[in-house]
């Protein structure tokens, strides 16, 4: 028997994306975003409310996105509960924020995978917006590359957000192959 749970999404997994940006004084900041995703192979989109990050992105037209991994779970959550309007999260986290060579936004060195993005559309303003960014470059730490030279998500251990219990989970097991496993039914 099925039960109705109301009108809030129960889609799993959701992202744990760390969106990093600079403010007008060049102070780096980072926030956690679960309502985000890769909307084409070359674009990332997300919905953000009235945050320091939103104002930064509106001003700079650029950001980076680092998917969080198991090793960075503490800072990933911290970036989602503290605000850059009150504290310098880059300093407080103890992590290393360096300037992207491709866009006007910071790269967090301790996060092994980063997408450097420039804004292509903003529906909204600094108080809340739906943002789409074009991926200009992907930076990856060699330690998470496989022998084939591609990102090995088994090594990376990505976090996902479980909105049902407001927790973080780890994914990684390979249980099938896209465009192949389903052929069993053809
Ligand atoms: C797990 C998690 C997911 C979040 N996802 C979003 C999101 O998708 N959009 C959003 O606007 N805020 C989201 N937040 C809240 C922001 O990360 C939070 O308000 C943060 O303090 C904003 O930082 P800033 O003011 O320094 O930009 C999330 C927080 C957590 C802990």
- CA atoms of 162 and 11, how far apart (whole Å): 9
Which numbered atom of ligand 1 lies nearest the CA of 56? Answer: 27
Total H helices, total E strands in the chain: 4, 11
Q: Which residue, judged by its Cα, is nearest atom 19 of ligand 1?
A: 80
* Torsion of the alpha carbons at 182, 183, 184 and 186, rounded to the nearest 10: 120
Domains of the chain: 17-185 (2.30.110.10)
At 170 the pLDDT is: 97
Question: Which residues are paired to 128 by β-bridges?
Answer: 125
Residues near ligand 1 (Cβ within 6 A):
29, 31-36, 47-49, 51-53, 77, 80-85, 161
Question: Which residues are paired to 114 by β-bridges?
Answer: 139
Which numbered atom of ligand 1 lies nearest the CA of 53? Answer: 27
Question: Residue 48 C-alpha to ligand 1 middle, in angstroms?
Answer: 7
Question: Residue 67 C-alpha to ligand 1 middle, in angstroms?
Answer: 14
Per the confidence metrics, is the pTM higher than 0.95?
Answer: yes
Question: Residue 18 C-alpha to ligand 1 middle, in angstroms?
Answer: 9
Question: Residue 47 C-alpha to ligand 1 middle, in angstroms?
Answer: 10
Q: How many CB atoms lie within 10 A of CB 57?
A: 25
Q: Which two tokens stand for residue 158?
A: 């990505």
Q: Which residue, judged by its Cα, is nearest atom 31 of ligand 1?
A: 80
Cis ω for the linkage preceding 13 (within 30 of 0): yes
At 92 the pLDDT is: 98
At 172 the pLDDT is: 85
Question: Residue 36 C-alpha to ligand 1 middle, in angstroms?
Answer: 11
* Closest among 52, 62, 50, 63 to 128, alpha carbons compared: 50
Report the greatest alpha carbon distance in the chain.
58
- CA atoms of 44 and 51, how far apart (whole Å): 18
Provide the residue-wise pLDDT of the chain in tens; the chain has 186 residues.
999 999 999 999 999 999 999 999 999 999 999 999 999 999 999 999 999 999 999 999 999 999 999 999 999 999 999 999 999 999 999 999 999 999 999 999 999 999 999 999 999 999 999 999 999 999 999 999 999 999 999 999 999 999 999 999 999 899 999 999 999 999
């Amino acid at each position: 028997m099925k039960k109705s749970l109301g009108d809030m999404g129960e889609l799993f997994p959701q992202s744990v994306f760390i969106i990093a940006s600079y403010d007008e004084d060049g102070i780096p900041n980072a926030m956690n975003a679960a309502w985000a995703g890769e909307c084409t192979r070359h674009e990332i989109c997300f919905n953000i409310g009235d945050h320091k990050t939103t104002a930064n992105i509106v001003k700079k037209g650029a950001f980076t996105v680092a998917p969080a991994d198991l090793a960075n779970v503490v800072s990933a959550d911290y970036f989602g509960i503290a605000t850059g309007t009150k504290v310098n999260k880059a300093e407080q986290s103890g992590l290393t924020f360096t300037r992207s060579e491709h866009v006007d936004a910071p790269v967090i060195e301790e996060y092994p995978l980063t997408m450097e993005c420039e804004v292509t559309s903003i529906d909204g303003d600094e108080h809340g917006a739906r943002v789409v960014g074009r991926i200009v470059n992907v930076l990856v730490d060699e330690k998470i590359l496989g022998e084939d030279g591609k990102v090995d998500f088994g090594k990376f251990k990505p976090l996902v957000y479980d909105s049902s219990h407001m927790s973080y989970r780890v994914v990684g097991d390979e249980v099938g192959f896209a465009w192949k496993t389903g052929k069993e039914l053809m």
